[in-house]
Amino acid sequence: MSAAGSGVAVQIDAQAAAYGVVPIGRHEVAALAVQIGNILGLSTASLDIRITTDFGIAGLNARYLGCVGPTNVLSFPNEYGGGSLVLNAQAVAREAWLYAQDPLEHWVRLVAHGLLHLYGLDHGPAMDAATETAVEQAGIPCIS
C-alpha cells in the first residue's frame, strides 16, 4: 500500500502490529519517508518499507549480512535509485526508551538513517549531521 501519489509502499508485519509498538500507521510512515526524502534531497519514488520485529529482522540480518541477532534498520538499495528499508519496530521502541527520545522522533531518525544508507552514505559525521538535520526539520509531530 502506498500513500496517495507518494510511490512509497509500506508493509507492517502482523507480528509488529500485534506488539503495538508502531506509533503511526502505514500512510503516516509513507508520508514521513517522503518528507524526510525531501528534506535530505533524496528520491523516494522507488521505495518500499517493511516494518517487522526482532525475529523478522534477525533473519534478514543473518541471511544478507551474515550478522547474528536483530538490528534496528536494514537498507537494500536497488538499481533504480531507491530500494527497500526494513525497520524493526521493537528495536525502535526499545531505543527510544533507552535514549529518552520521543518514539516518533526515533522513527524519523531511523527512516533518515536508512534512506541515507540507500543512497550510499556510510556511518560517520556526514551521516550523523544529515540525520539530525532531518530530525530538526521534520518537526514533531512531523505528520500533517
**Residue 106 assigned ligand-binding role:** no
Rounded to whole angstroms, how far apart are CA atoms 91 and 102? 14
* 46 in any annotated domain: yes
Task: Look up the pTM and report it.
Answer: 0.84
Which CATH number do you get for residue 75? 3.40.390.30
Asked if the structure places residue 3 within a domain, the reply is no
27 known member of a binding site: no
Higher pLDDT, 45 or 127: 127
121 or 23, which is more confident: 121
DSSP bridge pairs for 11: 50
User: Domain range holding 38?
Assistant: 8-137
Total count of domains within the chain: 1
Note the pLDDT of residue 19.
64
DSSP state of 63: I
pLDDT in tens, 88-102: 999 999 999 999 988
Q: Is residue 15 part of a domain?
A: yes
Q: Residue 140: which pLDDT band, with cuts at 50, 70 and 90?
A: low
- What are the cell numbers at 120? 550510499
Integer Cα distance of 136 and 43 in angstroms: 19
* 142 inside domain: no
| DSSP H helical ranges for 5-143 | 14-19, 26-40, 54-60, 89-98, 103-118, 125-138
Return the pLDDT at 33: 87
Q: Is residue 2 in a domain?
A: no
83-88 and 47-52 as β-strands: parallel, antiparallel, unpaired?
parallel
Q: Is 50 inside a domain boundary?
A: yes
The answer to the question of whether 117 is labelled as a binding residue is yes
pLDDT, one tens digit per residue, over 46-87 is: 889 999 999 999 999 999 999 999 999 999 998 877 899 999
144 occurs within a structural domain: no
The DSSP 8-state label assigned to residue 122 in this structure reads P
